[in-house]
A and B are shown apart, each in its own frame.
Chain A
Amino acid sequence: MDRAFQRTRILTNHLLLSTPAQTACLTSNDCFNYSPPELSENYAFDVNEMRKLMDGHDVEERDRLFGLIIQSRLFNPRVRGGKVFVSPDYNQSMEQQREMTWKRIEYLLERGVFKGWMTGEGEDVEMKRFACFEVLGLFDHSISIKLGVHFFLWGGAIQFFGTKHHHDKWLRDTENYKVKGCFSMTELGHGSNVRGIETVTTYDSKTGEFVINTPCESAQKYWIGGAAKHATHTIVFSQLNINGNNEGVHALIAQIRDADGNVCPNIRIADCGHKIGLNGVDNGRIWFDNVRVPRENLLNSVADVSPDGKYLSSIKDPDQRFAAFLSPLTAGRVNIAVNAVYQSKVGLSIAIRYALTRRAFSLKPNEPEVLLLDYPSHQRRLLPLLAKIYAMSFGANYLKMLYVKRTPQSNKTIHVVSSSFKATITWSNMQILQECREACGGQGLKTENRVGHLKAEHDVQSTFEGDNNILMQQVSKALFAEYMAAQKRNKVFKGLGLEHMNKPCPVIPSQLTSTTLRCSQFQMDALCLRERELLNRFVADVSQYLAKGESKEQAFNMSYQVAEDLGKAFSDRAIFQTFVEAEATLASGSLKDVLGMVRSLYALNCLEDITYLRYGFLSVDNGVAVSREITKLCTELRPHALGLVSSFGIPDSFLSPIAFNWVDANSWSSVQH
Chain B
Amino acid sequence: MASSVSSQQDKVLVEANSSARIITLNRPKQLNAQSFQMIYRLLELFLVYEEDPIVKLVILKGKGRAFSVGGDVAALVRDMRADDWRVGANFFSQVFKLIYLIATYSKPQVSILNGIVMGGGAGISVHGRFRVATENTTFAMPEVDLGLFPDVAASYFLSRLPGFFGEYVGLTGSRLDGAEMLACGLATHFVPSAKLPMLEAALCNADSSDPVIISSIIDQYSEKPSLKEQSVYNRLDVIDGCFSQRTVEEIISALEREDVHHMDSWISATIQKLKKSSPTSLKIFLRSIREGRLQGVGQCLVREYRMVSHVLKGELSKDFFEGCRAILLDKDKNPNWEPSKLEMIDEGRVECYFSKVKHEEWEDLKLPIRVKFELPPYVIAKL
Residues of A close to B373: CB separation below 8 A: 14
Interface size class of A (residues with CB under 8 A): 35 or more
Stretch at the interface among A59-67, A326-334, A397-405: A59-67
A64 touches B53 (CB 8 A): no
A residues 50-79 touching B (CB-CB < 8 Å): 60-61, 63-64, 66-68, 70-72
Stretch at the interface among B214-222, B260-268, B285-293, B309-317: B285-293
- Bound Cα distance A39, B383 (Å): 8
**Sample of 23 A–B contacts (CB below 8 Å):** A4-B53, A7-B53, A34-B377, A36-B375, A39-B369, A39-B370, A60-B290, A63-B290, A67-B159, A67-B244, A70-B294, A71-B163, A81-B380, A82-B378, A82-B381, A82-B382, A110-B241, A111-B241, A652-B294, A652-B296, A653-B294, A661-B380, A663-B377
- Bound Cα distance A40, B380 (Å): 13
Q: Is A550 an interface residue (CB 8 A)?
A: no
Given A33-B374, A82-B378, A661-B377, residue A38 in contact with residue B383 (CB < 8 A): yes
Residues of B close to A111: CB separation below 8 A: 241, 244-245
- Bound Cα distance A663, B374 (Å): 14
Which of B162, B163, B347, B371 is A14 in contact with, Cβ under 8 Å? B371
Interface-central residue, B250, B296, B374, B381, by most chain A CB under 10 Å: B381
Q: Is A83 an interface residue (CB 8 A)?
A: yes
B381 touches A661 (CB 8 A): yes
B378 touches A60 (CB 8 A): no
- Bound Cα distance A64, B382 (Å): 20
A63 touches B294 (CB 8 A): yes
Residues of B close to A653: CB separation below 8 A: 294
Residues of B close to A4: CB separation below 8 A: 53
Q: Is A120 an interface residue (CB 8 A)?
A: no
- Bound Cα distance A667, B377 (Å): 11
Q: Is A438 an interface residue (CB 8 A)?
A: no
Residues of A close to B293: CB separation below 8 A: 63, 66-67, 70-71, 651
Q: Is A664 an interface residue (CB 8 A)?
A: yes
**Residue of chain A at shortest CB distance from B382:** A82
Q: Is A31 an interface residue (CB 8 A)?
A: no
Residues of B close to A63: CB separation below 8 A: 290-291, 293-294
**From residue B138, how far is it (CB to closest CB) to chain A in Å?**
26
Listed from nearest, the 6 A-B pairs whose CB atoms lie closest are: A82-B381, A664-B377, A651-B294, A14-B372, A39-B371, A67-B293
Q: Is B331 an interface residue (CB 8 A)?
A: no
Which of B163, B245, B298, B383 is A112 in contact with, Cβ under 8 Å? B245
Residues of B close to A33: CB separation below 8 A: 374
- Bound Cα distance A661, B296 (Å): 14
Can you name 19 extra interface pairs (CB under 8 A) apart from A4-B53, A664-B381? A7-B53, A10-B374, A11-B372, A14-B373, A36-B375, A38-B383, A39-B375, A40-B371, A60-B287, A61-B246, A64-B246, A67-B159, A68-B244, A70-B293, A111-B245, A651-B293, A652-B294, A663-B377, A667-B377
Which of A67, A72, A110, A663 is B290 in contact with, Cβ under 8 Å? A67
- Bound Cα distance A7, B240 (Å): 48
B383 touches A64 (CB 8 A): no
B-side interface residues toward A, CB under 8 Å?
53, 159, 162-164, 240-241, 244-246, 250, 287, 290-291, 293-294, 296, 298, 347, 369-375, 377-378, 380-383
A residues 414-463 touching B (CB-CB < 8 Å): none
Which of B163, B347, B378, B380 is A36 in contact with, Cβ under 8 Å? B380
Given A14-B371, A110-B241, residue A67 in contact with residue B294 (CB < 8 A): yes
**From residue A116, how far is it (CB to closest CB) to chain B in Å?**
11
A81 touches B377 (CB 8 A): yes
**From residue B340, how far is it (CB to closest CB) to chain A in Å?**
24
- Bound Cα distance A663, B305 (Å): 33
Residues of A close to B246: CB separation below 8 A: 61, 64, 112
- Bound Cα distance A64, B286 (Å): 10
Residues of A close to B164: CB separation below 8 A: 71
- Bound Cα distance A60, B374 (Å): 35
A71 touches B244 (CB 8 A): yes
- Bound Cα distance A574, B130 (Å): 56
- Bound Cα distance A79, B291 (Å): 21
Which of B369, B372, B381 is A83 in contact with, Cβ under 8 Å? B381
Given A38-B296, A39-B370, A110-B241, residue A81 in contact with residue B290 (CB < 8 A): no
Residues of B close to A66: CB separation below 8 A: 293-294
**Residue of chain A at shortest CB distance from B373:** A14
Q: Is A24 an interface residue (CB 8 A)?
A: no
Residues of B close to A11: CB separation below 8 A: 372
- Bound Cα distance A663, B371 (Å): 18
Q: Is A170 an interface residue (CB 8 A)?
A: no
Residues of A close to B378: CB separation below 8 A: 82
B381 touches A81 (CB 8 A): yes
**Residue of chain A at shortest CB distance from B354:** A48
A15 touches B372 (CB 8 A): yes
